[in-house]
Amino acid sequence: MSEIERPVIRPRRLRRTPALRRMVAETSVEARQLILPMFVAEGLDEPRPISSMPGVVQHSRDSARAAVADAAEAGIGGVMLFGVPTDEHKDAEGSQALDPSGILNVAIADAVAEVGDALTVMSDLCLDEFTSHGHCGVLTETSAGALVIDNDRTLELYAAMGLAQAEAGVHMVGPSGMMDGQVAVIRDALDGAGHQDVAILAYGAKYASAFYGPFREAVGSSLQGDRRTYQQDPANGLEGVREALLDVEQGADIVMVKPGLPYLDVLRQVKDAVDIPVAAYNISGEYSMVEAAAANGWIDREAAILETLTAFRRAGADMILTYWAVEAASLLAR
């Protein structure tokens, strides 16, 4: 019997010890690359748990200030603020979004007062949390009696919303409504009012996803129907790249792909196509699936968190919006 031929090339040599694995790792995750989405609700005296997102809450103004301070202390890159008005303050045009005393605008001012420039304070620029119908824009009736989004009227409100957030002191706005031309209109409004230093993180490729369910609880969504006429079809990848490129042309400083895990291929394509930073949103449904599986003892929770974030970075994300941001920063520091 002939002697077994021994392999000369042994990739396992570089996996033998933790130190070796760290040294040759192709992808890293750092706290500065993480952004914490936060929900600030009107009228709360204390945080209110979100049942479908264990560990995540709707904040009161006081608890939001404390959470922003904790985020800065953890060394993460930023926070993304979402406002949750009471139902009585919602209307067909989402007018509270433009009100300087509206919940999102006061939450922005609170956050900036708390941490100054030690943390990037970002804000969602969309009407869906503020409209009585839950859509991202103004509805209009067609000749056939159907209700559809009025894209161009919505752009006027987005411009005004951007100015309200800039006046509150925000560092970066995040237009997420997927209206055609939204970045150009917001950029023009900001620049025209002397807010040329306020940056735009554009939701370039945002898909009509089944994974948004827990988020709708988080923002108290009043959605009637669906958003398939303005959010992208999950079947389309090239369309996501096209949308991102349009946002770059219109003045976006960062473009984002949302959701994250089911769209890592789109994230990679967008990263290869643009010459500005690219973000990914590790969304509510992705978060809740990991938390549910971990609660049942089916997966190692902390390992799954870090593996998920590494996947985003490996696919090309320069930054990641994730509800685990502060916890992950602690895990990474071990």
Which residues form the catalytic set? 206, 258
Closest CA to 270 of 239, 314, 230, 228: 239
Both structure tokens of 73: 């202390």
The tokens for 251 are 């003045």
Closest CA to 99 of 47, 42, 19, 142: 42
Q: What angle do CA 109, 107, 121 make, to 5 degrees?
A: 65
Residues 320/34, Cβ–Cβ less than 8 Å: yes
Q: Is the separation of the CB atoms in 316 and 326 below 8 Å?
A: no
**DSSP codes joined into one string, 47-76:** -EE-TTSTT-EEEPHHHHHHHHHHHHHHT-
- Alpha helix segments (H runs only) across the chain: 18-24, 61-74, 103-115, 151-168, 182-192, 213-218, 238-250, 264-273, 284-295, 301-315, 325-332
Residue 178's nearest CA partner among 135, 213, 237 is 135
Angle between helices 182-192 and 151-168 (to 10 degrees): 40
| CA distance linking residue 230 with residue 130, whole number of Å | 18
